[in-house]
């Protein structure tokens, strides 16, 4: 047996790169060598040098078009990965290579099978979404989903089993990623994933038994090893932008549990009207807030609006372009998290016992909101008005309700303890992780 060496291959989005990077760093701590394979585009955006291969798109093309990116990846990356593995095997004869690929990159598992190397699939989202995807044959049989293009045929609320989030089919992960063509492309990819995952020797998942017992029982093939959290430690290098740590000093000046932290992940985009309404909503609250406004949050540069807002609110607000989010959520001054409910943000908030105000946009974020509001009951959903806007009044009312009712914080602390029980040495996530490491070795 040679020295253990893993090729780790994330789906090229921020919320996928980060947890696989965390997993890789954990494996490094156990003496496993990692080669992290990014697409060239992402390679130029992360803060450490990693191995890269092309995604088949031109640098200026829109990678937020997930359908187009997915087709391009399928065309170009399998051949590139195969060449990379062959190159490594020729040059490092003392190493035994193994692949850990994002479960959505089923072709990477096919390459591993062709080259006869060990392989594991990594699922970076909730077990509930995974269970939904693996229930597609049943959804087709029940007449809920069209077999050809994934469109929704029946609109009644749907649940896979008791104690799992009740889902609105219109919000199934593949149906809210773009236009009908995108739905078709993603549905095809997902159906293919359901087949390729059978090639994996291991399937690991960034979640915990305590948080998702029903979903994990429904498809027990995937083993939870989460939450994968870095705490923004030095050396956690999956980030696409440098974090502005000045907000931590600002948080130090704020009273305990007073601050509303507002962040929408790595690629949620606002239109001007909604952005303005959010700014006015935050202003109308008589509370401190920390708001992440990425440089690409809104098409039209919001500099003027933000300058005027800063002049009016002074030290009560802190606006940064990228925050050290995990350190922020761990800060005692944080009172609640206004979030788009990306899975990483959800796990990070829950792991720190922080109550949520939910503002989901697409993909799995709606299921995550249902977990937060209806299953764990640690947050409140923001509702749109009849024009499709979340108004400043709605933001103010729900924020006040959430912060004034101590039950949300209490439940938050209970869930924090549950997640941490899984993560501690004798916990199930930690045990799964140890067994996984043994397998690699």
Query: Applying CB under 6 A, which residues contact ligand UDP?
Result: 13-15, 18, 263, 265-267, 292, 322-323, 325-326, 342-345, 348
Identify which of residues 150 and 342 has a Cβ nearer to ligand UDP in the complex: 342
Distance CA 343, CA 15 (A): 8
Taking the CB of residue 199, how many other CB atoms lie within 10 A of it? 16
Strands (E), 342-430: 356-358, 379-381
Nearest to residue 313, comparing CAs of 281, 338, 339, 277? 281
- Closest to ligand UDP by CB, 348 vs 422, is 348
Q: Alpha-carbon distance 188 to 286, whole Å?
A: 48
Contact 76, 54 (CB under 8 A): yes
Element (H, E) at 99: strand 95-102
Query: Nearest distance from residue 239's CB to ligand UDP, in Å?
Result: 6
Nearer to ligand UDP, 13 or 371 (CB): 13
d(CA 140, CA 148) in angstroms, rounded, equals 10
Min CB(153)–ligand UDP separation in Å: 28
CA angle at 124 for the pair 146 and 21, rounded to the nearest 5°: 145
State in angstroms the smallest separation of the CB of 126 from ligand UDP.
Answer: 10
Q: How far is CA 18 from the centre of its chain?
A: 8
Smallest gap from residue 15 Cβ to ligand UDP (A): 2
Q: For ligand UDP, which is the closer residue by CB, 266 or 369?
A: 266
Q: Which is nearer to ligand UDP, 39 or 266 (CB)?
A: 266
Tell me which residue of 258, 254, 301, 262 sits closest to 278, measured CA to CA: 262
**129/399 with CB nearer ligand UDP:** 129
Instruction: Compute the least distance from the CB of residue 226 to ligand UDP, in Å.
Output: 12
Task: Give the nearest distance from C-beta 330 to ligand UDP in angstroms.
Answer: 11
């Amino acid at each position: 047996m040679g020295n253990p060496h893993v090729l780790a291959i994330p789906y090229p989005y921020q919320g996928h790169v980060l947890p696989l990077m965390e997993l890789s760093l954990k494996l490094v701590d156990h003496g496993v060598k990692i080669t992290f394979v990014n697409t060239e585009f992402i390679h130029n955006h992360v803060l450490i040098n990693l191995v890269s291969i092309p995604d088949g798109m031109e640098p200026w093309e829109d990678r937020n078009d997930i359908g187009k990116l997915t087709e391009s990846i399928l065309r170009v990356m399998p051949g590139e990965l195969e060449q990379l593995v062959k190159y490594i095997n020729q040059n490092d004869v003392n190493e035994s290579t193994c692949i850990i690929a994002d479960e959505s990159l089923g072709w990477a598992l096919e390459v591993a099978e062709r080259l006869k190397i060990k392989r594991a699939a990594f699922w970076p989202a909730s077990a509930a979404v995974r269970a939904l995807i693996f229930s597609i044959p049943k959804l087709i049989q029940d007449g809920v989903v069209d077999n050809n293009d994934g469109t929704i045929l029946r609109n009644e609320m749907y649940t896979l089993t008791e104690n799992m989030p009740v889902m609105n089919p219109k919000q199934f992960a593949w149906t809210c990623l773009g236009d009908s063509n995108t739905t078709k492309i993603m549905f095809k990819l997902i159906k293919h994933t359901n087949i390729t995952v059978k090639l994996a020797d291991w399937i690991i998942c960034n979640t915990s038994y305590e948080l998702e017992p029903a979903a994990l029982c429904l498809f027990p093939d995937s083993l939870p090893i989460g939450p994968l959290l870095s705490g923004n430690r030095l050396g956690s290098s999956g980030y696409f932008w440098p974090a502005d740590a000045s907000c931590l000093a600002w948080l130090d000046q704020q009273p305990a549990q007073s601050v509303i932290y507002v962040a929408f992940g790595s690629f949620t985009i606002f239109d001007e009207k909604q952005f303005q309404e959010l700014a006015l909503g935050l202003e109308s609250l008589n509370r401190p807030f920390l708001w992440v406004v990425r440089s690409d949050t809104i098409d039209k540069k919001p500099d003027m609006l933000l300058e005027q807002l800063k002049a009016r609110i002074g030290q009560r607000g802190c606006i940064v372009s990228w925050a050290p989010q995990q350190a922020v959520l761990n800060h005692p001054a944080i009172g609640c998290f206004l979030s788009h409910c990306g899975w990483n943000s959800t796990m990070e908030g829950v792991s720190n016992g922080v109550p949520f105000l939910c503002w989901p946009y697409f993909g799995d974020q709606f299921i995550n909101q249902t977990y937060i509001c209806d299953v764990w009951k640690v947050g409140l959903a923001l509702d749109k008005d009849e024009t499709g806007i979340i108004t400043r009044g709605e933001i103010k009312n729900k924020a006040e309700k959430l912060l004034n009712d101590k039950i949300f914080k209490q439940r938050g602390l209970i869930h924090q303890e549950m997640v941490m029980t899984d993560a501690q040495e004798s916990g199930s996530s930690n045990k799964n992780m140890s067994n996984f490491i043994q397998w690699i070795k």
